[in-house]
Amino acid sequence: MQLLKDRILKDGVVLKGNILKVDSFLNHQMDPGLMAAIGEEFARRFAGEPITKILTIEASGIAPALFAGYFLKVPVIFAKKTQSSNQDASTYAAPVHSYTRGTDNYIRVSSRYLSSDDHILIIDDFLAHGEALLGLSDLVRQAGATLAGAGIVIEKGFQDGGRRVRAKGIRVESLAIIQDMAEGRVEFAPK
């Protein structure tokens, strides 16, 4: 998606440790126009699937998931990273390791919102090591739902997550795949 790639090149900042900082338009301050274009592109790419719900993980996946849900006309569910006193007693839960934060979390979704009748599209902001995506797909499996695939805003193609996820037979549609971030520059994978 050229609009996204242009924005990454213009406003993205490469930090040490292969971290791409896109907080000025994607995951801290958000550009609604760009989010709408991202949601519309995911809806176009998954138009042939009978999607009933979109699943994402808090917090950075919510905006692109919400816009994809808007264009697909389906509800959006986000997996919570922390357990709270007002959370339903019956939940699906899966462990997820965050390499960015260096922490392990259990993500949770109420069993009221996922069922075996659902055809789920997962949306997330980044795919690097694949932990979040595999955790979300485990929630779908626990519910007995069907996984249509995953829409990823930015994939770090030089890390192993995309390979790991695709090896499990999950369809992945990434809007921008980064091949390299050497010397502080972003290089996209060829189409």
Beta strands in 72-127 (DSSP E): 76-79, 91-98, 103-110, 119-127
List, in sequence order, every residue forming a beta bridge with 14; answer none if it has no partner. Answer: 20
Rounded to the nearest 10 degrees, the angle between the axes of helix 2-11 and helix 32-45 is: 140
* Parts of the chain with a pLDDT under 50: none
Q: What pLDDT does 87 receive?
A: 66
**Token code pair at residue 165:** 């996820």
pTM of the model: 0.93
- 47-62 confidence digits (pLDDT tens): 999 999 999 998 889 9
* Structure confidence at residue 88 (pLDDT): 65
- Give tens-digit pLDDT for 7-28: 999 999 999 888 999 999 998 9
